[in-house]
Structure 1
Amino acid sequence: MRISGCSSLLFLALAASLSGSLSAHPVEEPVRAPMVGLEGPASDACPGIGRVNGLEPRKGDLLRVRAEANEVAEVTDELAVSTLVWLCEADEDWQGIVYPKGEFQELGDCRVSSSLAEPEPYVGPCQFGWVQAKYVELVAG
């Protein structure tokens, strides 16, 4: 099949338009869920509870929750000072957390306060992600 000069220009313009629109919508990177149950079947799936701390609430500082345990990973949420979170997997200077989100969800709803036979990625009803560990103080665990 041969495309005429005018048709080929139209085809090229359409192809360029489509490729531009595809790249204008970046694909979101998947969130790496923290592993739970790392302490074994004798411990809770997430063995500690922490509180967001070390930020300046008067300045409106919020703790960024990221999709991966690194500074350039996508920000998936932000947490205010004093927010309680479950402490699950640690990765160097990063802490994998699980936390309730929404008006009717509480820390106990996250299903990580009982043991697991084997470690697994978190798949419960609460939110999860990675934060810089220096901004979370241990409350219990």
Structure 2
Amino acid sequence: MKAALLPFAALLVLSACADPEPATKRAPGGVQAGERLDAAEPSPTARPVKIGEGGPRFAACQGRGRVGNLRGGTLVVRDAPFDEAKQIGSLEENAHVFICTRSLDQQWLGVVVASEDGMKPIAVRSSEAVQDGQGDATPAPSAAGVDCGVTTPVRTKRSYAGPCLSGWVENTFVAVVAR
């Protein structure tokens, strides 16, 4: 009798350890698709934009550029220099950027997004717009911008950690402009 109950007991113990079928499907890796990477966190392959590559006697970002040839679209800003990297922003036609570094293959530019004077552009939301008599929205008066910190020299080469958007854009859509 004991010999007959032993396999039944072992089966009962093993069945208690098994997980029930999950109510929601899980992605590979054991987590739900949205849990693996929070939208606010950088992706595991993120590569920060480096400033100060010219040395302590030159501006942190030595080049300036203007976005162009978008053909009606926007230029995607990514957190690493490749097509599959996470999108962290987008740029419109004629947006100004400071070119700080390049990828090894020269196809991607590490940029800091700022206006021509090196200040953080202030976006005007529709709720901040002032309606004129004809129903057109005109921008509200804006306060002084925030300095991005890329027009002055830095002592050593380092990752950009300033207040402005920084990331990687395709070289094809940025034209270098004179200072």
- Across the two proteins, how many residue pairs are aligned to each other? 134
Q: Which has the larger radius of gyration?
A: 2
Match of 1:112 in 2: 150
| Contact preservation (8 Å) 1:53, 1:137 | yes
Amino acid at match of 1:52: V
Q: Choose the corresponding residue for 2:48, options 6, 29, 33.
A: 33
Match of 1:8 in 2: 16
Counting aligned pairs with the same residue, the percent is 28
Higher strand share: 1
Gaps of 5+ in 2: 1-9, 114-119, 124-142
Match of 1:95 in 2: 109
Amino acid at match of 1:89: T
Gaps of 5+ in 1: none
Relative contact order, higher structure (CA 8 A, sep 6+): 1
| Structure-2 separation of matches of 1:132 and 1:42 | 28
Higher helix share: 1
| TM-score, normalising length: structure 2 | 0.64
Give matches, 1:1-141, under 5 Å.
8=16, 12-13=19-20, 16-17=22-23, 20=26, 22-25=31-34, 26-27=36-37, 29-30=43-44, 31-57=46-72, 61-91=73-103, 92-99=106-113, 100=120, 102-103=122-123, 106=145, 109-141=147-179
Tell me, what secondary structure is at the counterpart of 2:19? helix
